[in-house]
Amino acid sequence: MNFFLSELADKLGCELQGEDRRITGCNTLEQAGPWEISFLANPKYVGQLDSTRAGAVVLSPEYKDRFDVCLLTPNPYLDFARIMRLFAEEEEEEAPGISEHAFIHPEAEIEDNVIIHPFVSIGARTVVCAGSIIHSGASLGRDCRIGRDCRLHPNVCLSPATELGDRVTLHAGVVLGSDGFGFAQSETGLEKVPQMGRVVLKSDVEIGANSTVDRGTLGETRIGQGTKIDNQVQIGHNVSIGRNSIIVAQVGIAGSATVGENVVLAGQVGVGGHLTIGSGARVGAKSGIHRSIKPGAELSGYPPMEHREFLRYAGMRSRLPDMYYRLKRLEAECDKLRAQLESKETRNEPQE
Amino acid sequence: MNFFLSELADKLGCELQGEDRRITGCNTLEQAGPWEISFLANPKYVGQLDSTRAGAVVLSPEYKDRFDVCLLTPNPYLDFARIMRLFAEEEEEEAPGISEHAFIHPEAEIEDNVIIHPFVSIGARTVVCAGSIIHSGASLGRDCRIGRDCRLHPNVCLSPATELGDRVTLHAGVVLGSDGFGFAQSETGLEKVPQMGRVVLKSDVEIGANSTVDRGTLGETRIGQGTKIDNQVQIGHNVSIGRNSIIVAQVGIAGSATVGENVVLAGQVGVGGHLTIGSGARVGAKSGIHRSIKPGAELSGYPPMEHREFLRYAGMRSRLPDMYYRLKRLEAECDKLRAQLESKETRNEPQE
Amino acid sequence: MNFFLSELADKLGCELQGEDRRITGCNTLEQAGPWEISFLANPKYVGQLDSTRAGAVVLSPEYKDRFDVCLLTPNPYLDFARIMRLFAEEEEEEAPGISEHAFIHPEAEIEDNVIIHPFVSIGARTVVCAGSIIHSGASLGRDCRIGRDCRLHPNVCLSPATELGDRVTLHAGVVLGSDGFGFAQSETGLEKVPQMGRVVLKSDVEIGANSTVDRGTLGETRIGQGTKIDNQVQIGHNVSIGRNSIIVAQVGIAGSATVGENVVLAGQVGVGGHLTIGSGARVGAKSGIHRSIKPGAELSGYPPMEHREFLRYAGMRSRLPDMYYRLKRLEAECDKLRAQLESKETRNEPQE
């Protein structure tokens, strides 16, 4: 598969500078060859323009004098991503069809133009809409709904009544609708609280490999449109996440927490149950959130502090032991001064 | 499915207050309609009794004047959970049977009244006892034993010789019996220590989605009766956990650690290898345990402190930078005072 | 299966002390019976030699007087591991063959002496070399290459074009080649950056259950020969890890990080994107690495400090609140002293 630069410029609405040529793939500045296109997004790497062998570079107009053949755009990262997608789509083309090695319940409803791989199991009354692809070993319980153009990678598991919007991507090993962690103390031990709700994902949600989303205890666990979740993230029962939020790998969100829109939770963050994370909040890696957070807050640490305060504190930690000994010395010093002063007073008093 | 309130009161041994009526489901106070039953467990939500549309509420006798139709019980959360179970059981009824798309080794032994879904693989000499359900894609190695009324969700994986008691629940993607992480340093690199032991789960254990439990290197990794483990928990080789403990999501327990009874490890806790966590200990979220813990201890942080001490320390962290500068200023001040005092002494001395 | 001690001594190049006898298995000092062999690696357990019922013990020559029948070697842990392997290999023998319940694409190439279990799915042009075993439910995309004597446990998932060297072990639920977490901000929300690269694992790599390794965005995510990765580890896109490194459970490494040779990352560590961890570095459990680390560094904490500094600091944390109040008191004290001194000066001055 290949494109002329002029074709790419047309499709993306970019300006082509330099001679038109045929491009066969995408690569980094360091590794691209003369038939590949690359990009410059971070000014830190501008020096690589001198040494790259790339046939063309997507870059911002301010660097147009630094390379001969380029596509000019104010957002080179976004436009390069779109070029990558053009190549990726070409590469992936697969004929629609349902493997004879899949198990489809007779009451399931599979629309046209769907691809179902071997060893997929689909329960009663589940609907898979047109254009969706379900990879091998995925297990869809009864009464699920998979929107249009979804992609479920191998071994994904959906509990009964899970609902996905359109263009949802679930990577391998994702589990939607596992039971929430709810137990009531009885005289004889812990008794399970039955988990009867479900999971609802809006359109354009993407969830990374081996992440898990518990079903609501009652009602729903909900993830809003366009929210992106990385690998090995855990989302508890009845959590609600707004639109376009970003949840990085290995984050855990406890039951009944509410996360707003455009929130960013960095890697390995933990969020306690029943809390609210306001829209636009940004939480630093490894933080532990144990109280609700206001919209737009930037916090880090556990318990969390203002991100700047966290950095100041963190930079001082190593001085703590030394401070302790200096403090002790100072106390002794003060005692000595006081004693000296008092003895002096005593000695001086008779003179007065 | 539905129940009369009087039926529920009978089954649970609660007192019915107000008129009997037919109930068709369970819901929260906020969302329940007139044919649903709800509950009040946390006094914080008592105000919702005024606005709820629920047809009946399970509550503690002290609030009996706050709502007309109710089931009275000293433990509303537990009794509501039991009502939920009545509804859930009705909903789930499935005909027993073994899918023709499953692979059962001819030497495996499947008792009556078992449900086995498509693409399940069961090894030689493995026994599945009556009433158990094994969902699609689960893989059971040779010589395993699955007790009565167990439930294995999709894509669960059991290594050879794994043993489950009765009423064990394994959520989707759980792996029991993966190799422990053991390597010996040789002249040429790391050499694998073969992992030859197995995993034993007692009755009423529940393990959350995508959690992993390593087999013993030699001997067993054991989880005691009634212990509940959340999603994405990692349990190392030869770990032993007592009865009725609670291990929250994303906890990691390193090899050969011993965890007592009724222990609570909150989310994202890490426990080092070969340590002992005494019965009844409670460890706060995100803590790192690097020494053995006494029974009943309440610890937080890494390294851990008494939970109260942790909170006091945590609240002071942001003052550390300021303290540093105040300490420095004070040192200078003391130096000045000392100098002043000494110069005074000198000046005064001749007068004496 | 069983071995004479003299056979084991021959195979391992150890010295046999005491009478030769037949050994039927391996066990710990505590649990071994008279037909089993055990080992002493940690001097802490030397007392157990007095009570063990083991038929023989592998130990270092310095303890040869402490037990009658033993295999003497300078590295008892390594040699015991090798004895375990002899027993383990005997136990595992399985006839080669391809299950009729597997799906092998007609263009895939399966060499001789391979074992493929039920419900395995293998894509077009994928090559599985001699001696490899693929357990049930594994899903191998198109154009993969599995080297010789690899072992893929149940439900492993390999994206297209994944490449494994020889003797690679992937435990159950491992996902190689999931999409990296890359999104570009557009006017309307987050737009996916297509992930077009792949994952390459060199020989003798082992990866624990439910771990995930993202494919390169462009180019490769690479793991070097002999590196061992524990359960539930997350490796981002375009990460490169050198030889013989050890990555303990629940570690997360963000995209484009470079990890050297012989690095040890303890449990639950997080490593930020685009950083370099120098060869031989050791990072303590739960640390968060947000800057590149020099070769051989030993760090702990988040942000990380020298490991010793971390311990000193950690030991002082609980004094912080008390220090704050002592500092305040000292400031007041100093003020008082100053006032006293000044008033004294004033009173004395006229005398001069």
State how far the Cα of C178 lies from the Cα of C328, in Å rounded to an integer: 55
C323 Cα to chain A: minimum distance (Å): 7
Q: Which residue of B has its CA nearest to C117?
A: B121
Which residues of A participate in catalysis according to the annotation? 237
Ordered DSSP codes for B258-282: EE-SS-EE-TT-EE-TT-EE-TT-E
Confidence (pLDDT) at B347: 67
- Comparing CA positions, the residue from A41, A32, A124, A25 lying closest to residue A84 is A25
Beta strands in A127-219 (DSSP E): 127-128, 133-134, 139-140, 145-146, 151-152, 157-158, 163-164, 169-170, 175-178, 183-186, 189-192, 198-201, 206-207, 212-214
Contact A270 B250 (CB under 8 A): yes
Confidence class for position B93, pLDDT limits 50, 70, 90: low
The shortest CB-CB distance from C270 to any of A228, A267, A344 is to A267
3-class DSSP assignment, residue B325: helix
Instruction: List subunits contacting chain B, requiring 3 or more Cβ pairs under 8 Å.
Output: A, C
Of residues B334 and A157, more confidently modeled: A157
ipTM of the complex: 0.94
Confidence (pLDDT) at B326: 93
| Helix ranges, chain C (H) | 5-12, 48-51, 76-92, 307-316, 320-348
pLDDT digits (tens, 9 = 90+) for C244-302: 999 999 999 999 999 999 999 999 999 999 999 999 999 999 999 999 999 999 999 99
Confidence (pLDDT) at C89: 78
Tell the CATH topology of B3-92.
3.40.1390
> And the tokens for A47?
């020096």
Q: Which residues of chain B are within 8 Å of residue A348 when distances are taken between CB atoms? A: 348
Select from B24, B29, B234, B317 the residue whose CB has the most chain A CBs within 10 Å, as the one to mutate to test that interface: B317
CB B69 within 8 A of CB B17: yes
What are φ and ψ of residue B246, in 5° steps? -125, 120
Q: Which residues of chain B are within 8 Å of residue C27 when distances are taken between CB atoms? A: 218-219
Place of tokens 């909903």: B91
Confidence (pLDDT) at B276: 98
Q: How many helices (H) and strands (E) would you count in chain B?
A: 5, 40
CB atoms within 10 A of CB A132: 24
Q: Give the rounded percent of residues in chain B with a pLDDT score beyond 70.
A: 97
Q: How far is CA B279 from CA B229, B260, B261, C212, in A?
A: 16, 4, 5, 34
Contact B31 A186 (CB under 8 A): no
CB A249 within 8 A of CB A208: yes
Confidence (pLDDT) at A27: 93
- Comparing CA positions, the residue from A135, A142, C250, A138 lying closest to residue B155 is A138
Contact B196 C84 (CB under 8 A): yes
Tell me the whole-structure pTM to 2 decimals. Answer: 0.95
B176 Cα to chain C: minimum distance (Å): 9
pLDDT digits (tens, 9 = 90+) for C198-219: 999 999 999 999 999 999 999 9
> And the tokens for A246?
């970003």
Confidence class for position C352, pLDDT limits 50, 70, 90: very low
Confidence class for position B77, pLDDT limits 50, 70, 90: very high
Per-residue b/e over B22-58, b at no fewer than 16 CB within 10 Å? ebebbbbbeebeebbbbbbbeeeeeebbeebebbbbb
The shortest CB-CB distance from A178 to any of B172, B204, B268 is to B172
pLDDT digits (tens, 9 = 90+) for C213-236: 999 999 999 999 999 999 999 999
Q: How far is CA B43 from CA A300, B46, B324, in A?
A: 32, 5, 45
Q: Which residues of chain B are within 8 Å of residue C321 when distances are taken between CB atoms? A: 312-313, 315-316
C206 Cα to chain B: minimum distance (Å): 9
Q: Which residues of chain C are within 8 Å of residue A234 when distances are taken between CB atoms? A: none
- By residue count, chain B amounts to 352
DSSP state for residue B243 in the 8-state scheme: T
Q: Which residues of chain C are within 8 Å of residue B236 when distances are taken between CB atoms? A: 249
3-class DSSP assignment, residue C49: helix
Hey, CA dihedral for C51, C54, C56, C62, is it positive or negative?
Answer: negative
Contact A77 C184 (CB under 8 A): yes
What are φ and ψ of residue C320, in 5° steps? -55, -50
CB C173 within 8 A of CB C136: no
3-class DSSP assignment, residue B94: coil
Q: Which residue of A has its CA nearest to C186?
A: A78
- Comparing CA positions, the residue from C85, C45, C41, C80 lying closest to residue C60 is C41
Q: Check if C307 is active-site.
A: no
Confidence (pLDDT) at C35: 94
- By residue count, chain C amounts to 352
Confidence class for position B352, pLDDT limits 50, 70, 90: very low
Which secondary-structure segment (H or E) carries A11? helix A5-12
CB atoms within 10 A of CB C98: 17
Confidence class for position B92, pLDDT limits 50, 70, 90: low
Q: How far is CA B173 from CA A18, A184, B18, C141, in A?
A: 53, 25, 46, 20
- Comparing CA positions, the residue from C43, C51, C41, C50 lying closest to residue C84 is C41
Confidence class for position C92, pLDDT limits 50, 70, 90: low
Task: Provide CB contacts within 8 A for A295, sequence distance 6+.
Answer: A260, A278, A279, A280, A281
Contact C81 B344 (CB under 8 A): no
> And the tokens for C214?
């993202």
State how far the Cα of A12 lies from the Cα of A6, in Å rounded to an integer: 10
State how far the Cα of A97 lies from the Cα of C255, in Å rounded to an integer: 35
Cα first-last separation, chain B: 104
The shortest CB-CB distance from C212 to any of A209, A243, A324 is to A209
The shortest CB-CB distance from A139 to any of B88, B135, B286 is to B135
Domain boundaries, chain A: 3-92, 97-309, 319-351
Q: B276 exposed, middle or buried (CB, 10 Å; 0-12, 13-18, 19+)? A: middle
Confidence (pLDDT) at B166: 98
Q: What is the pLDDT tens value at each position of chain A, 352 positions in all? A: 789 999 999 999 999 999 999 999 999 999 999 999 999 998 989 999 999 999 999 999 999 999 999 999 999 999 999 999 998 876 666 778 999 999 999 999 999 999 999 999 999 999 999 999 999 999 999 999 999 999 999 999 999 999 999 999 999 999 999 999 999 988 888 899 999 999 999 999 999 999 999 999 999 999 999 999 999 999 999 999 999 999 999 999 999 999 999 999 999 999 999 999 999 999 999 999 999 999 999 999 999 999 999 999 999 999 999 999 999 999 998 888 888 888 876 666 555 4
- Comparing CA positions, the residue from A329, B311, B330, A200 lying closest to residue C333 is B330
Which residues of B participate in catalysis according to the annotation? 237
Contact B117 A119 (CB under 8 A): no
Contact C268 B272 (CB under 8 A): no
Task: Provide CB contacts within 8 A for A14, sequence distance 6+.
Answer: A8, A58, A71, A72, A73, A79
Q: How far is CA A278 from CA A260, A265, C328, in A?
A: 5, 12, 36
Confidence (pLDDT) at C324: 94
Tell the CATH topology of C97-309.
UDP N-Acetylglucosamine Acyltransferase; domain 1 (2.160.10)
The shortest CB-CB distance from C181 to any of A78, A101, A230 is to A230
Confidence class for position B344, pLDDT limits 50, 70, 90: confident
Confidence class for position B176, pLDDT limits 50, 70, 90: very high
> And the tokens for C38?
């055990």
Contact C181 A267 (CB under 8 A): no
State how far the Cα of B178 lies from the Cα of C209, in Å rounded to an integer: 6
> And the tokens for B293?
């813990």
CB atoms within 10 A of CB A294: 12
Q: Which residues of chain B are within 8 Å of residue C120 when distances are taken between CB atoms? A: none
For Cα atoms A163, C137, C102, give the angle at the middle one, nearest 5 degrees.
120
List the single range of A227-236, B121-130, C86-95 with lowest mean pLDDT.
C86-95
Report the DSSP beta bridge partners of residue C115. C97, C133
pLDDT > 50? residue C122: yes
Tell the CATH topology of B98-309.
UDP N-Acetylglucosamine Acyltransferase; domain 1 (2.160.10)
